[in-house]
Amino acid sequence: MPSISTKQFGIVEFAEEDIFEFPNGLPGFEAERRFLCIERPALRPVVFLQSVEHSGLCFITLPARSVDPGYQLEVAAEERSVLGLASEEATSWEQSLACLAIVCLPSDGTPTANLLGPVVLSRETRRGVQAVRDDCRYSALTPLQQGTTERNTADSSPVLKGNADRLAEV
């Protein structure tokens, strides 16, 4: 079984099918294309998006709906294509997606979440994109309210399904 040495989690074993591929990388990190989603039960619903290639690169994310319970995901046709979603009908693919907001933890200020450009993961195709919206409905600097991470903390994982459940225990 392959493993990586990470800065935050030490040695992490994984199976190739646990990896999410980002064919276009992430804005600012275009060369980074392979990530693992790591969850720690005590920190749910936080999901760590850990680079497979660079041990020091790990994004802290939250499910967008734990930040804003009414969050409405929009995925453009080009992004749906990258994710490998065949249907134009949102109800047919929305259940297979995880929508994560990248968290920013400034040293002096309020933590924020990027709801303008969430990371969207397809559990079926194991592909991901950062779906930057073209409207102003949400902000890239949405302040996190106290208690934000306490919402939607059900035992089920927002991302991991099937064989990848073992990563939740890292």
The predicted-structure confidence for 24-47, as pLDDT tens digits, reads as follows 999 999 999 999 999 999 999 999
pLDDT at 146 over 90: no
The CATH architecture that domain 3-145 belongs to is: Roll (2.30)
Q: What is the pLDDT of residue 159?
A: 74
Burial class (CB in 10 A: 0-12, 13-18, 19+), 63: buried
For the entire predicted model, the pTM comes to 0.85
Evaluate whether 123 touches 161 at the Cβ level (below 8 Å): yes
Using one digit for the tens of pLDDT, what is the confidence trace for 68-104?
999 999 999 899 999 998 766 555 566 789 999 999 9
- Domain boundaries of the chain, sorted by first residue: 3-145
Q: What is the pLDDT of residue 87?
A: 62
Quick one: what percent of the chain has pLDDT higher than 70? Answer: 82
Tell me how far apart the alpha carbons of residues 135 and 156 are, in angstroms, rounded to a whole number: 31
